[in-house]
């Protein structure tokens, strides 16, 4: 009996000791990408495809011979990213393999090899990686998982600013985020999330149901629908250079801005075949309740516009009044009109450029919603047609610039949340 007890005790110790060591010294976790995401303005993941030609970035960073050899050994994912210092070009990152020499501008980052464009970019990254790193949580952690498991892209505020250019202030709700990319025939499916600030810890909420709107017709270059102008105005009105002239010159103060922030809208950009303007811009607002504050705001614009040498022409009925603004040569350069939607609600249509056609679809409700999630935003555009006219930020990726259609829907993760669930589609075939 004593011998049996000793045998059981010894067996228990033999089992317990390794388990305790494992708990105290857990298996090392791949942390290279987690460290890099904190330094990246823009980071993309790509599945390994050793049977395909060597990408240009690999040849540029490794040289032709080493690029071919390392490329053929890839079995999982590789990455490219741009640093948050704004310089240094694209970095290449791939899985470290024992026995493989480091490239001349390469460094080891845990389980990864990262190759810079030149010695200065290498030194910049090394210095940044020496700084204390915080653990990735919330949105960043979920984006990290996408980048480790599938083809995806992550952006930080600096990356968005570079890509979007002058349009960046309109994208305040999407300062940091990520999208998974999935090829669907001739289309690229998009799914992910974005936040209005870096490092958001909010839970992802319920996944948004994919919304695939119809393609944008040839008579439009861009259409943006949403439940309120808050998202578009937030970035613009944070700049005193814009906010002060609106109040001092046009009488658009806090009360008018509050009114504008909450109104559902449709923003459209139309191509123009002739005349001095490339495009016409329309902003359609769904006005509910008392129209007097809106008419007062419009009346406040009259004197400043006349001071600039423009002349007003009134038309329409008292209920559906219209105003056109003309230069001294008679050319219409903008205006506004009240229109009646099919639902019986009244919309205010403001425009820059020639007067829009009377067939402007006023009946379509510009608010999309999903039960329990509130209203969403929907963006549709024809990137190639915009690029032809020089109206697309040149820093956007080439596949986006060449695409014939792009749609993107943003649904709040919860009512009032700064986090949005994103779904969309990029049509890759030529127009």
- Tokens representing 221 are 């270059």
Residue 61, pLDDT above cutoff 80: yes
- Tokens representing 358 are 């009377």
pLDDT given for residue 207 in this prediction: 65
Nearest 10 degrees: CA dihedral of 165, 171, 172, 176?
-80
**Cα dist. 257→172, 191, 230, 263 in Å?**
17, 33, 9, 10
Question: What is the rounded CA–CA span in Å between residue 350 and residue 327?
Answer: 17
Question: What is the rounded CA–CA span in Å between residue 258 and residue 271?
Answer: 31
pLDDT given for residue 142 in this prediction: 95
Strands 187-195 and 374-381: unpaired
Question: What's CA 94's distance to the chain center, in Å?
Answer: 26
- Tokens representing 197 are 């600030």
Q: Taking the model in full, what pTM does it have?
A: 0.85
pLDDT band at 370 (very low <50, low <70, confident <90, very high): very low
Residue 371, pLDDT above cutoff 70: no
- pLDDT tens digit string along 372-423? 445 789 999 999 999 999 999 999 989 999 999 999 999 988 887 889 999 9
Question: What is the rounded CA–CA span in Å between residue 37 and residue 39?
Answer: 5
* Number of CB atoms found within 10 A of residue 32's CB: 19
Question: What is the rounded CA–CA span in Å between residue 168 and residue 156?
Answer: 12
Mean pLDDT over all residues of the chain? Answer: 85
Residue 5, pLDDT above cutoff 50: no
Residue 206, pLDDT above cutoff 80: no
Query: Do 370 and 209 touch, CB atoms closer than 8 A?
Result: yes
Coil/strand/helix, residue 103: coil
H or E element, residue 260: helix 254-262
Strands 346-352 and 279-287: antiparallel
Nearest 10 degrees: CA dihedral of 296, 297, 300, 305?
-130
- pLDDT tens digit string along 225-254? 999 998 888 878 777 778 888 888 888 988
pLDDT given for residue 208 in this prediction: 62
Strands 419-427 and 321-326: unpaired
- pLDDT tens digit string along 68-94? 999 999 999 999 999 988 777 999 999
- Tokens representing 244 are 């002060």
| Residue in the structure block whose two tokens are 């002739």 | 274
pLDDT band at 3 (very low <50, low <70, confident <90, very high): very low
């Amino acid at each position: 009996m004593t011998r049996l007890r000793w045998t059981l005790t010894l067996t228990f110790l033999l089992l317990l000791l390794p388990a305790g060591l494992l708990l105290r010294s857990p298996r090392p976790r791949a942390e290279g990408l987690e460290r890099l995401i904190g330094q990246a303005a823009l980071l993309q993941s790509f599945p390994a495809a050793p049977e395909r030609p060597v990408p240009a970035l690999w040849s540029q960073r490794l040289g032709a011979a080493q690029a071919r050899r390392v490329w053929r050994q890839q079995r999982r994912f590789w990455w490219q990213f741009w640093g948050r210092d704004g310089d240094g070009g694209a970095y290449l990152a791939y899985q470290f393999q024992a026995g493989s020499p480091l490239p001349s501008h390469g460094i080891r980052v845990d389980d990864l090899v990262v190759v810079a464009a030149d010695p200065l970019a290498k030194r910049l990254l090394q210095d940044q990686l020496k700084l204390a790193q915080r653990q990735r949580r919330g949105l960043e952690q979920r984006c990290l998982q996408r980048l480790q498991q599938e083809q995806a892209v992550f952006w930080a505020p600096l990356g968005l600013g570079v890509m979007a250019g002058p349009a960046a202030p309109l994208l305040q709700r999407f300062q940091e985020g990520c999208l998974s990319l999935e090829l669907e025939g001739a289309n690229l499916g998009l799914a992910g999330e974005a936040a209005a600030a870096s490092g958001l810890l909010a839970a992802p909420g319920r996944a948004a149901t994919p919304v695939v709107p119809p393609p944008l017709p040839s008579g439009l270059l861009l259409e943006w629908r949403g439940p309120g102008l808050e998202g578009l105005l937030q970035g613009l009105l944070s700049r005193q250079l814009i906010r002060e002239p609106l109040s001092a010159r046009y009488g658009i103060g806090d009360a008018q801005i509050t009114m504008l922030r909450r109104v559902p809208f449709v923003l459209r950009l139309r191509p123009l075949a002739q005349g001095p303007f490339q495009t016409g811009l329309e902003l359609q607002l769904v006005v509910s309740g008392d129209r007097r504050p809106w008419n007062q705001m419009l009346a406040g614009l009259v004197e400043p516009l006349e001071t600039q040498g423009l002349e007003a022409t009134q038309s329409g009925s008292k209920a559906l009044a219209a105003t056109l603004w003309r230069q001294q040569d008679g050319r219409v350069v903008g205006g506004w009109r009240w229109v009646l939607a099919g639902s019986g609600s009244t919309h205010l249509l403001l425009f820059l450029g020639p007067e829009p056609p009377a067939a402007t679809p006023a009946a379509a409700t510009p608010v999309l919603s999903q039960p329990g999630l509130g209203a969403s935003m929907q963006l549709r555009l024809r990137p190639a047609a915009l690029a032809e006219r020089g109206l697309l930020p040149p820093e956007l990726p080439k596949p986006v610039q060449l695409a014939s259609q792009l749609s993107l829907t943003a649904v709040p993760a919860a009512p009032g949340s700064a986090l949005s669930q994103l779904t969309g589609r990029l049509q890759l075939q030529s127009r």
